[in-house]
Amino acid sequence: MDSLEIDDAYINKNLRMDDHISKVDFQRRKQPSRCRCTSVCLGLLCAILLAGNIGQIFYYEIIDRLTSSYIPEKLNNTEEDRLQKSYDALTAEKKQLEVRLNTMTKENDQMQTNFNNVERDLEALRTNHNDLTARNNQLQTNYNNLQRSNVKLQTTFDQVQGNYSSLKRDKDQLQASYNTLNIRRNLLQIGYNLLQKDKERLQNSYDIVKTEKEQLQTNYSSLATSEEQLQKKIDKARRRMVCQTGWQKFDLSCYFVSTVKKCWLCSRRDCVAKGGDLVVIDSRGKQEFINSLLKKGEHAWIGLSDRIIEGDWTWVNGDPVTTTYWEPGQPNSVYGEQDCATFMQKSSGMGEWNDLGCDNKQIYICEL
């Protein structure tokens, strides 16, 4: 009896040990075997009790028959007391066995109830186990699919990573180019701003110059008209003019050939004092006329020089040099000191020019 109570307590304790033994394993391994063992023990105990009761009945029946048949009416008091004690002991033991039987029957019912509950829980757990197994299989399938997808995604990621690295290099190169272009743009912007300011300044200067030009054009037109009128008057006066003694007339001007020799500057001063200036040769006819005025081989100063700017030959009246009659190889400006032009008479031809030092003394030709 004590052994059975210990086993039942042990089972109940194990039923509460959820943290150490899983419910599924306990129901599969512990509860069914112990419940069956308890049921078998209870069955055997009931059979023993039944056999004991039957044995007592037969025993007392045999004792009663033997007493009535073979034992004398007066029994030995000592034997009777012993038998009475044995009977009382058996009766007490029977009562104890009946109490134990009732207790074990109750425990068996309780264990049967627990067994049924455990069976239901086991069935529920089996159902949950099947559901969990199905879900696990589904999750395993999903995991396998995800694993394959992960491999594909990893391959795609590697490709994307390679593309990203390439794009990053291209981006860095473009960024460097952009920075360079941005610096150039800033420099160009600065240059553009400076040019814009210069343009505005030049525009202002242009507007001023344009206004001055228009004013000068107006003045020039007025002066040109006045000059034309004066020229007509001068031409008319020259046509009527008679050259002084020693002067020779050609076209509308008078020409004088000196007999004394002077430097170029002194010669010009003398011509200015006479009311004219050194001769300006601006046509072939005048060149031939001047050549005819001079004697054979004579050299005479004319109004041409580059005294102001070396190599820039100008006439004394400011007219540009359009027609020249230089001797071949002239002007050569030896040592940079030949700044004045002289006329060389030629018997054949119309004469030539040569550059000579201005301090040399020669005859000169004045034009009035």
Specify the pLDDT at position 21: 44
Strands (E), the chain: 247-250, 253-257, 277-278, 299-305, 314-315, 340-344, 352-356, 363-367
Angle, nearest 10°, between helix axes 31-69 and 77-240? 170
Structure tokens that stand for 34 in this block: 């112990």
Specify the pLDDT at position 65: 67
Phi–psi pair at 19, nearest 5 degrees = -80, -15
Mean pLDDT (10-residue bins), the chain, 368 residues: 46 50 49 67 84 80 63 66 90 91 89 90 92 92 92 91 91 93 93 92 91 89 82 69 88 93 97 96 94 95 93 91 92 86 93 95 96
Long-range residue pairs from 116-121, CB within 8 A, at least 24 positions apart, any chain: 118/15, 118/27, 118/31, 118/32, 118/35, 121/23, 121/27
What are the boundaries of each domain within the chain?
2-151, 245-367
Contact 288, 346 (CB under 8 A): no
Specify the pLDDT at position 5: 45
Residue 275 DSSP symbol: T
Give pTM, 2 decimals.
0.40
Those residues whose C-beta lies under 8 Å from the C-beta of residue 304, and which sit 6 or more positions away, are 280, 281, 313, 314, 315, 316, 321, 340, 341, 353
Specify the pLDDT at position 7: 47
Contact 293, 249 (CB under 8 A): no
Q: Answer yes or no: CATH 1.10.10.10 is held by domain 245-367.
A: no
